Structure 1
Amino acid sequence: MKEITVDSNPSEATLKKLGVEHWPTWQKEVSVFPWAFVTTEVAYIVEGECVMTPNDGGSATTFKAGDLVVFPNGYKGTWEVKQPLKKRFKHQDGNFVKCALSRFKILKNRLKSKG
């Protein structure tokens, strides 16, 4: 299984180039739950701390506020939200409906910020 990648110190220029400020947000309280990614998800962690443990027995990945994280399409594992999570995210490379909805939300947010 592909591994999660974490950039622990993305530059402001990188975040701006990616358009992170326009990505939709998702929040989750402290909890543990299984998840299977049907897209490649790029996420910027705004608040919180989490550990993702893959189902295949591989090494767990920890990420926290300020990290830019890429969850590969097909990754299956367990979320452990250690501190309440708030992330900005976009979907790419995978489930067509999820990717299209993500693009729509980002476009809507861009238009709203210009208004």
Structure 2
Amino acid sequence: MSIQVQHNPAETQLKDLGVAKWPTWKKEVSTFDWTFHEQEQAYILEGECVATPVGGAPVHFGKGDFVVFPAGLKVSWEVKQPLHKHYRLDGNVVTQTWLRLKAAFTK
């Protein structure tokens, strides 16, 4: 289970995926832990980050990168420069809610 980073993907790839229509998310400079309950695809509009998977090596990414985080991945985030990204989660609202509820009750 590893984070995949594609530096400077082709505009045609981003257009085919519909990235411009995905929601956006912002985060200030900070550190925090996160679990990806479903796969997330992200296109980094601004910022610089390091995501370190539990038991793994740090992964660096930033502006212009396309990043895929696999479902079930637990990471420690270090947002070095304010982050602004487009993102898409696998599944729909029902499955996403179910995965979060399931995780909350199995801790």
TM-score band by shorter chain is 0.7 to 0.9
Question: Could you list the runs of 4 or more consecutive aligned residues of structure 1 that deviate by over 4 angstroms after TM superposition?
Answer: none
Q: Residue 90 of structure 1 aligns with which residue?
A: 88
Is the contact made by 1:73 and 1:93 (CA closer than 8 Å) also made in structure 2?
no
Equivalent position SS for 2:87: strand
Alignment partner of 1:64 is 2:79: no
Tell me by how many angstroms 1:93 deviates.
5.2
- 1:77 maps to 2:75: yes
Task: Identify the residue that residue 10 of structure 2 maps to in structure 1.
Answer: 11
Residue 54 of structure 1 deviates from its aligned partner by: 1.1
Give the drift of 1:75. 0.5
Partner of 1:24: 23
Task: Provide the secondary structure at the position in 1 that maps to 2:71.
Answer: coil
Aligned residue for 1:39?
38
RMSD: 1.5
Identity of aligned residues (%): 52
Q: Provide closer, same or farther for how the CA distance between residues 43 and 20 of structure 1 changes in structure 2, counting only shifts above 3 A.
A: same
Please tell me the residue identity of whatever aligns with 1:73.
A
Instruction: Return the letter of the residue paired with 1:3.
Output: S
* Residue 77 (structure 1) shift: 1.1
TM-fit CA distance, 1:97: 3.0
CA–CA separation in structure 2 for the residues paired with 1:35 and 1:66: 22
Mapping of residues 99-114 of structure 1, within 5 Å: none
State the match for 1:52 in structure 2.
Answer: 51
Structure 1 residues not aligned, in runs of 5+: 99-115
